[in-house]
Chain A
């Protein structure tokens, strides 16, 4: 177990944590736009961390170059996709909820 393997395992676990947080946020947050916050940010960072962990695990090779391209594309497309979702919802007429209109969550 070299130091690089430990770093890559740490990064992959951190990425898994953020993807999990994004999924929990998708369930817990109250309206569409705040759910977009959870998936747009936490998932982006999670994917970036997992992929950079894999790059470090792989070392300097052609596979790392391919992963680097994936990294760049994820960084570009993930916020764009989130914006596309939010814009489509806004055009369709989904109203964002504010603090005054937020209902307290029903206890089950």
Chain B
């Protein structure tokens, strides 16, 4: 726990310092010193918040992100974004606008908040789906086209996200419902 806290703080400092170096673009003593000092100051201000996050909120209790998987995940997501935009372009430019909207409601068993953020953003970026609400474990997703054609129904997208954290995730989604009314929400 304490180790993760110290590691997180050091990583935050290095990210801030690197951001300063890239954004300032000056590498003489004066500017680099000021940059490192201000990065240290910001880290110091954030120290209490980080302390709270790691010791009260418990984000250190979960498994760390598997960075190797991330390398495969990002190109896959880029490909999905391209497919999604082509689909939107087809729908928008088609004279009849062939859409069939519906809502999909499902529960997930993802390990932590960050995984839910990644899943929510990925749902928005994959073809035909848009995250509307996340309530604890319950997701509500708007589907633009035929809902059964999306990657949520067969569970492949949540499975990909869960794989970022675990080697062999169990079934991650349950209670999938396709709604065509807004009753009972």
Contacts and interface: CB of A to CB of B under 8 A. Distances in A.
A33 B133 contact: no
A41 to B, nearest CB: 4
B67 interface: no
Interface residues of A, number: 41
Contact of B125 (A30, A36, A41, A46): A41
Given A29-B99, A45-B81, A79-B124, A90 B140 contact: yes
B101 A33 contact: yes
A90 B132 contact: yes
B85 A66 contact: no
Interface in A44-82: 44-46, 48, 62, 65-66, 69, 76, 79-80, 82
Given A34-B99, A62-B22, A82-B124, A25 B91 contact: yes
Contact of B101 (A79, A80, A83, A96): A96
Contacts of B61: none
A36 to B, nearest CB: 6
Contacts of A95: 182
A21 B22 contact: no
B101 A31 contact: yes
A76 B101 CA distance: 26
Contact of A65 (B22, B103, B124, B128): B22
B180 interface: yes
Contacts of A21: 85, 88-89, 92-93
Contacts of B92: 21, 24-25, 28-29, 38, 42
Contact of B130 (A24, A25, A86, A98): A86
Contacts of A18: 85, 89
A103 interface: no
Contacts of A28: 92, 97
CB-based closest 6 A-B pairs: A25-B92, A79-B124, A45-B85, A79-B121, A41-B84, A21-B89
Interface of A: 17-18, 21-22, 24-25, 28-31, 33-34, 36-38, 40-42, 44-46, 48, 62, 65-66, 69, 76, 79-80, 82-83, 86-87, 90-91, 95-100
Interface of B: 19, 22-23, 25, 81-82, 84-85, 88-89, 91-93, 97, 99-103, 120-121, 124-125, 127-128, 130-133, 140, 142, 144, 180-182
Given A25-B91, A83-B132, A87-B133, 7 more contacts: A41-B81, A66-B23, A79-B131, A82-B130, A83-B130, A87-B131, A95-B182
28 contacts: A17-B89, A18-B85, A21-B88, A24-B92, A29-B92, A29-B97, A34-B99, A34-B144, A36-B130, A41-B125, A42-B92, A45-B84, A48-B81, A62-B25, A66-B22, A69-B22, A79-B121, A79-B124, A83-B120, A86-B130, A86-B142, A87-B132, A90-B133, A90-B140, A95-B182, A96-B101, A96-B182, A97-B101
